[in-house]
């Protein structure tokens, strides 16, 4: 088990949380006030609510967990693990969903997510939440050595919005706009030594997401848009590559490549792991047919890689 789990905000967040007794809080038993079970994607999720007030009530939060689990199920074709526990910690006077962490193999569950929900959270904030989906996405990839933490976070960062679009919970335009804004944060800065050796917040979350986007586009380019990263990721889960298993990254990428009949993941990893690889993002957006306009983005159906862009967010057939 990774002792710090997958801290969502990384960087400073890790230090603050780990340094202010969060780890201690985890060892202290949290009193569970109510417990619900939801069935989704062939799995049973146990959703535990710790004591504490929630203006919206627990049913609304439960519904958010259900939506997140459905998006993950749609992307992977099944919920990645058979059982998981989700512990909701209500936080007084706060808004929104925050401080999510997911572990493998904890307390008899293959997956365990602990996440905070503010007492004052509104329905709109729940509708706009992405963190619950991000956390549950972590269940669908094996636990990797610390140096490859970027792969776990990058994958969750990339798959979460795509899964929500496929599930009809988000508009495709919105995620491409977010990617145009977010992906530059994943580019290497001066002194970068590659993803396995540069553990900054930007390279871990957005650098990993950039790797996933570039891999998705390349797999689709090489297979004439018949296969994508989603095929690779589904195959990894089908081979037992979930968060409760510790794998070397090469094993996961090899299974992924076999599923697409390419060597994209292994070859990209060999280049990106110990050297700074830049992606020409403006050129990529142009090829994908994504154009920034005053109030968001415009999607051009005639761009050369427009079918690739559409296939990424289309529901699996």
Dihedral of the CA atoms 145, 150, 155, 160 (nearest 10)? 120
In the complex with Zn ion, which residue's Cβ is closer, 2 or 70?
2
Nearest residue to Zn ion, by Cβ distance, number only: 6
Distances 90 to 94, 96, 115, 135 between C-alpha atoms, Å: 9, 10, 9, 17
Q: How far apart are CA 140 and CA 214, in angstroms?
A: 20
Contact flags string 128-157 toward Zn ion, x per CB under 5 A: -------------------------x--x-
> Residue 72 interacts with Zn ion (CB under 5 A)?
no
Site for Zn ion in 230-289 (CB under 5 A): none
Minimum Å gap between C-beta 289 and Zn ion is 29
Residue 98 Cβ vs Zn ion, minimum distance, rounded to whole Å: 12
- Does residue number 68 form part of the binding site for Zn ion (CB under 5 A)? no
* Helix, strand, or coil (residue 218): helix
- CB closer to Zn ion out of 6 and 164: 6
In this structure, the strands spanning 32-40 and 43-50 are antiparallel
The CA–CA distances, whole Å, from 182 to 29, 203, 284 equal 37, 11, 14
Question: Can residue 6 be called a binding residue for Zn ion (CB under 5 A)?
Answer: yes
* H or E segment to which residue 89 belongs: strand 83-91
- Using the minimum distance from each CB to Zn ion, give the nearer residue, 100 or 188: 100
CA distance 40 to 93: 31
Minimum CB distance to Zn ion smaller for 156 or for 209: 156
* Cα separation, 103 vs 109, whole angstroms: 10
Query: Residues 155-194: x/- map of binding to Zn ion (CB under 5 A)?
Result: -x--------------------------------------
Q: How far is the CB of 157 from Zn ion (least distance, A)?
A: 7
Q: Which residues contact Zn ion (rule: CB under 5 A)? A: 6, 153, 156
């Amino acid at each position: 088990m990774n002792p710090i789990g997958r801290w969502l905000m990384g960087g400073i967040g890790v230090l603050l949380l780990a340094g202010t007794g969060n780890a201690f809080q985890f060892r202290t038993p949290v009193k569970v006030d109510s417990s619900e079970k939801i069935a989704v994607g062939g799995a049973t999720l146990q959703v535990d609510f710790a004591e504490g007030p929630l203006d919206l009530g627990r049913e609304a939060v439960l519904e958010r967990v259900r939506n997140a689990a459905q998006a993950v199920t749609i992307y992977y074709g099944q919920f990645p693990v058979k059982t998981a526990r989700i512990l909701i910690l209500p936080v007084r006077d706060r808004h929104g969903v925050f401080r999510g962490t997911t572990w493998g193999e904890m307390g008899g569950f293959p997956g365990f997510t602990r996440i905070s929900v503010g007492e004052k959270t509104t329905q709109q904030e729940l509708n706009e939440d992405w963190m619950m989906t991000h956390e549950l996405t972590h269940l669908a990839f094996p636990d990797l050595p610390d140096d490859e933490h970027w792969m776990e976070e990058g994958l969750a960062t990339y798959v979460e919005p795509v899964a929500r679009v496929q599930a009809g919970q988000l508009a495709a335009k919105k995620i491409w706009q977010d990617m145009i804004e977010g992906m530059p944060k994943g580019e290497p800065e001066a002194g970068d030594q590659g993803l396995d050796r540069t553990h900054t917040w930007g390279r871990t979350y957005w650098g990993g997401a950039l790797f996933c986007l570039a891999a998705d586009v390349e797999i689709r380019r090489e297979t004439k848009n018949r296969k994508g990263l989603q095929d690779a990721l589904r195959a990894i889960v089908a081979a037992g590559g979930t968060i409760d298993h510790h794998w070397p990254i090469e094993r996961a990428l090899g299974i992924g490549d076999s599923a697409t009949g390419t060597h994209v993941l292994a070859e990209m990893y060999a280049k990106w792991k110990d050297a700074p690889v830049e992606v020409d993002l403006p050129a990529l957006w142009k090829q994908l047919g994504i154009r920034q306009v005053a109030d968001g983005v415009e999607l051009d159906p005639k761009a050369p890689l427009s079918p690739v862009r559409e296939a990424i967010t289309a529901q699996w057939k």
